[in-house]
Structure 1
């Protein structure tokens, strides 16, 4: 299990980024998730179970885990414990291009969160070192030709543009493709990769 260091300092939340050894660590009950479709859709969870099709799940309900599953795409957890709002975001290249993390922040603010007190943790995902894409993908990020895209860096910038303080954003330095012994990776194991669960809740 991986934890964001600055999240440990926050009161009233629990969180974790799953690994290959702990890919599905949540209890069978008490958590909410979405059918992930590589979109920019944000959904609010008020009860446990499948919430519909979306790639970000937000809640204000204490003790309710919100979770997403990844294997190279970025897991991003957001929290404003003082306002009682948390979110879990699945950010692949399509969701990142569509600014799903910024739209999740907007939803959190609608539910009472404050931009200056929202904390973000960008968990392990495919790194700049390994995420080479063709022109059809790179063009979505204002780049031409075959390029390597820094998904974590793009999401960090989107969070800052959305109004978050830089010191409230943490990024994991671990690339899922570079560390197959620790993480599932769609690119390293095409067609056979498992999925890792990342989640957060208010307590």
Structure 2
């Protein structure tokens, strides 16, 4: 599913798959990247732990114990694996910062969104002009 049209910028690609992946998600994410004509070696792959931890990535590859990733590198692809949690996309086109946050109930209760804002401010980025898109998630009718 392509969510790119949800962003004002035409330079953003936001894709997701409704198919299940392997438990650690790495093989599935690389396969999805290839299908979307993205370089699978450019992925940033957080090892999600339902925490409130976020980071500004200075290299691609696997990021341990993290539920939010941000970068200003145009060559890298942020990735997440979600089931019933919210994927939240952050884009600031003038400053070219993108981010993905895995927002489960634990992370939300423990302030993952405010920690994301703090992270951007600590790295010298303004909080103005952000597009924030909430991706699909589970609904009460699923229970």
Residues 40 and 98 in structure 1, CA contact (< 8 A), matched pair in contact too? yes
Looking at both structures, which has the greater relative contact order when contacts are Cα pairs under 8 Å and sequence separation is at least 6? 1
Aligned residues: 130
Change (3 A) 1:94 1:37: same
Alignment partner, residue 6 of structure 1 = 6
Matches within 5 A, 1:55-134: 55-127=67-139, 129-130=140-141
SS of the aligned residue for 2:117 comes to helix
Which 4+ residue blocks in structure 1 deviate beyond 4 angstroms?
A: none
Alignment partner, residue 32 of structure 1 = 44
Counterpart CA distance in 2 for 1:86 and 1:96 is 19
Runs of 5+ unmatched residues, structure 1:
131-176, 178-186, 188-203
SS of the aligned residue for 1:29 comes to helix
1:67-88 C-alpha deviation (Å, 9 max, x unpaired): 1101111111111021121111
Give 1 or 2 for the bigger CA radius of gyration: 1
Runs of 5+ unmatched residues, structure 2:
22-27, 35-39
1:47-101 C-alpha deviation (Å, 9 max, x unpaired): 2210121100111111201111011111111110211211111011101111212
Q: CA deviation at 1:112?
A: 3.9
TM-score by length of 1: 0.57
- Structure with the higher strand share, 1 or 2: 1
